[in-house]
Structure 1
Amino acid sequence: MILLGLLLAACAATFGVIRYEEHKEVIRNSDAIVLEIDSDAVQTLSWEYGSETLAFHKEDTWLYDGDAAFPVDEEKIQERLELFRAFGVSFIIEDVEDYGQYGLDKPICTIRLSTADETWEILLGNYSSMDSQRYVSVGDGNVYLVQNDPLDYFDAGLSDMIDHDETPDFDKVTGIRFAGTESYSITYEEDSGNTYCEEDVYFAERAGSLLPLDTSRVDAYLQKISGLSLTDYVTYNATAEELEACGLDTPELTVTVDYTYEDEARNEITQTFVLQISRDPEEQKAAEEASDQEEGTAEEEITAYARVGDSRIVYRITANEYKALMDASYDALRHLEVLSADFSDVTQLDISLEGAAYSITAEGSGDGRTYSYLGEELEIGDLQSTLESLKAESFTDERPTQKKEIGLTVHLDNENYPEVRIELYRYDGTNCLAVVDGTPVSLVARADVVDLIEAVNEIVLN
């Protein structure tokens, strides 16, 4: 009996080996295209990954089955469909009996597509780290290894499929308007007679006058808009109540930018971009009350929101983005320099210092201009650099009440502005008050004024 049992066991084992060999899977290299689905003909697309199931269908546009109001990014849908227009593989595994060894009995992701005539179900299994490829089933009985892993596209959640609002790159801005905490307009004007600085092209409209702005500061502000990260959406279909809760029913600041760009046919296209910014109203109210009671903190928490035009999407923006966008005052965009003229346009400097008057004259033109004092040519570099270093620490309209430290009349090679008068008055131990053409402008560092006086003395006393 013992011998008989051993014989039966040996026969069973031999039968198992033979059966295994009879059903051994066939694996071979392949460059076959196993799916060719016309993406334009696809009418439905869905996938299950992890705990999330997403489904979309096409009418005139692609719609999310769970909410027709969701703004679907059609390019992202198309990007996923294009994967199966010519879906190629690198290995074919035939005669498969155990799909579990490839992770296809419980697929990590299931993708379904359909046209008017046909439906496909694509299963994604394990990832072969040895081959750096994914096991895939397309329902034909085979298992495939693919290099272009579909999971790279279908691990997406709903937030990855939203058609986000975009901020443009402003090729040429023709106008900017601020409403809310700031209320003024900026116009674009080349070769303007409203400035003595050739680079000035932006002008603030204030009290009937066009006041020059610093081109680099305006461009930097526009770049803050272009570089704004609009991805963290709070809602994609804001109600009136939600807008009010975010403070966007009456935005703190609305920025309207008129700009032009060239299309592919080189036609000039005019566009207008509108951005609305607000801080959480309750938080803003608490901050104002704390400020009134002088209880503000250095690390103030800011919850802020932005909305593009009449879009229904509301985005959360960072505290730094909020502060940068809200910093849109005239003072934030005007020239910091007391004298913004190009020094190569200076034809003469008349200087008053400690009751004495001095004149520095020039010959030549542009960058080839040379300067002299009392008929003797001089090196103007130190005086030029100290004059150009006079920049606003802050702006003010306060009238001077103390001693004038130094005065300069700068003569320019400019028909509209033949001269600029600069007077620097003592203010306190840290700052001096700069008055330009009789109008108080800014507080500048007293140390820089001292450097200017020393540069003048170096010329007139030697």
Structure 2
Amino acid sequence: MKRAKRIYILLGILAAACLITFAVTRMEEKKEQIKNSEEVILELSEDSVQKLSWNYEETELAFHRDDDGLWSYDDDKEFPVDEDKINGLLEQFASFSVSFVIEDVEDYGQYGLDEPLCTIQLETSGETYEISLGNYSNMDSQRYLSIGDGNVYLAQTDPLETFEVGLNDLIAQDEIPVFSQAETITFEGTENYSIQYKENSGDTYRSEDVYFTEKDGDNQPLDTDKIESYLESLSSLNLTDYVTYKASEEELKTYGLDAPELTVTVKGTAEDADGEEVTESVVLNISSVSDEEKETSGDDEEEITAYVRVGDSGIIYRISESDYDALTKASYNDLRHSEVIPAEFEDISKIEVTLEGKTYTITSEEKKGEYIYSYKNKELDISQLQSAAEALKAYSFTDQEPDGEEEISMTLYLDDENETKIQVKLYRYDGTYCLAEVDKKTVALVKRSLAVDLIEAVNSIVL
């Protein structure tokens, strides 16, 4: 009997618990009504907002409009605020919509709103709005938020995606034009020379050569691809990692920019915001500062930190070592053609090759827009010789006079009205390199293996 009595008591307790749970559930359902909504809960134009502040994790930032209506950083009015970026933060609140509304909320903790992840304050001339961001609902792929009206909302757009920014992200960084063409490029410092843009110049054998510099009284062609790559490196600099935005004389000295290693001045053509071609110019000052020696893979190596400054801007940026290397690789030898043959192969109409004291002549005839090459009236497949000739590239540039024996000599005749001749000779230098001479002027060391390839290509034709 006692056992049955205990069972009845337990059943009674269970029934009571179920009744209480049901009652609580009904009460919660009554208190918190969840419903779909396409409601717009905020409508604030960008121009109406006078103050903006927010805190997220370690970041607390506040901005206000100054007397000119421009955004100013509360902690330092000298900070150059990017107007577009601030307005970009405000843009979402011009018509801020939600997907769900939870009314009569009593427990904000279940939505992460008892201790909000981020709080945003907006102030107009007459009102202040506070937006608290809570948990992210993985089921709905939306974030809970409140605006202080007793409700919790699921936002169609997550404000945290735009407010996860720091002060670095909001600086009005200097802009470098994206040049489609440079008229002049001037280097001062570790390099001191100028580059000019000239079309249809008589100072080159290549039609695509449009950039030249004066060297020893003559205009020397530069490699167009290398110039364009250099301009791209300059225009694509990531100017976000600033170390100061109001550089003092002492700071300029600290970062090596009181006397920059290299100053690059570019004037040329770029597109404006409307897509129109305009003339732009930029001055970029570049320096580096040696760090303490750091042990790397067992070796003590001196590392550098590099900095740039655009013109007279007060902002100094830290740049990567790879960007520094790309910008300071600006000598004449860095930007000149590395190919030994200073012409395009398709412009060559005749080749005379001297090898081991014998001269061989390869002729050509134009048929249907292309050259057909022949040796002793026999049509040739010229591809091996062409590949070997075009592969002749400088390992390093030099003006050292040759004193070894001649390996191979080629006289190239161009198909032009002047019947231009280019003489290329390769001399033995050592077991690894040959000296390359063009029109009786030494230009470079080339790998001897390339000379061997050229000789073998000739032998495959004449032997």
Normalising by structure 1, we get a TM-score of 0.88
Q: Is the 8 A contact 1:408 1:422 kept in 2?
A: yes
Q: Is the 8 A contact 2:338 2:394 kept in 1?
A: yes
Residue 390 of structure 1 aligns to a residue whose secondary structure is coil
Residue 41 (1) aligns with residue 48 (2)? yes
Separation in 1, partners of 2:314, 2:419: 49
| Equivalences for residues 51-450 of structure 1 within 5 A | 51-59=58-66, 60=68, 61-263=70-272, 267-280=276-289, 282-283=290-291, 300-364=302-366, 368-415=370-417, 418-450=420-452
Q: Is the 8 A contact 1:394 1:444 kept in 2?
A: yes
Larger CA deviation: 194-203 vs 302-311: 302-311
Aligned to 2:8: none
For structure 2, list consecutive stretches of 5 or more residues without a partner in the other structure: 1-11
Computed over aligned residues only, the root mean square deviation of the Cα atoms, in angstroms, reads: 2.7
Q: Is the 8 A contact 1:196 1:414 kept in 2?
A: no
Separation in 2, partners of 1:439, 1:22: 93
Q: Could you report, residue by residue, the CA deviation over 1:162-215 in whole angstroms, capped at 9, with x for unpaired residues? A: 222333322122221111111111111222211001121111222332111111
Deviation at 1:303, TM superposition (A): 1.3
Residue 140 of structure 1 aligns to a residue whose secondary structure is coil
Q: Is the 8 A contact 1:187 1:205 kept in 2?
A: no
Deviation at 1:336, TM superposition (A): 0.9
Deviation at 1:63, TM superposition (A): 0.8
Separation in 1, partners of 2:272, 2:232: 21
Alignment-mate amino acid for residue 421 of structure 1? Q
Separation in 1, partners of 2:77, 2:273: 33
For structure 1, list consecutive stretches of 5 or more residues without a partner in the other structure: 1-5, 288-296
Residue 364 of structure 1 aligns to a residue whose secondary structure is strand
Q: What is the aligned-residue identity percentage?
A: 56
Separation in 2, partners of 1:298, 1:447: 36
Separation in 2, partners of 1:314, 1:99: 45
Alignment-mate amino acid for residue 62 of structure 1? W
Separation in 2, partners of 1:298, 1:378: 57
Alignment-mate amino acid for residue 90 of structure 1? S
Q: Could you report, residue by residue, the CA deviation over 1:96-117 in whole angstroms, capped at 9, with x for unpaired residues? A: 2333333323222221111222
Deviation at 1:389, TM superposition (A): 1.4
Aligned to 1:25: 32
Separation in 2, partners of 1:118, 1:170: 46
Aligned to 1:3: none
Aligned to 1:293: none
Residue 89 of structure 1 aligns to a residue whose secondary structure is strand
Residue 31 of structure 2 aligns to a residue whose secondary structure is coil
Deviation at 1:33, TM superposition (A): 0.4
Deviation at 1:233, TM superposition (A): 1.5
Deviation at 1:399, TM superposition (A): 0.4
Separation in 2, partners of 1:215, 1:146: 52
Q: Per the alignment, do residues 25 and 394 of structure 1 end up closer, same or farther by CA in structure 2, a change over 3 Å counting?
A: same
Separation in 2, partners of 1:128, 1:264: 40
Query: How many residues in Structure 1 have an aligned counterpart in Structure 2?
Result: 441
Residue 369 of structure 1 aligns to a residue whose secondary structure is strand
Separation in 2, partners of 1:446, 1:128: 67
Separation in 1, partners of 2:65, 2:409: 73
Deviation at 1:263, TM superposition (A): 4.0
Separation in 2, partners of 1:365, 1:300: 60
Separation in 1, partners of 2:445, 2:149: 79
Q: Is the 8 A contact 1:135 1:144 kept in 2?
A: yes
Larger CA deviation: 57-66 vs 356-365: 356-365
Deviation at 1:31, TM superposition (A): 0.4
Separation in 2, partners of 1:308, 1:366: 53
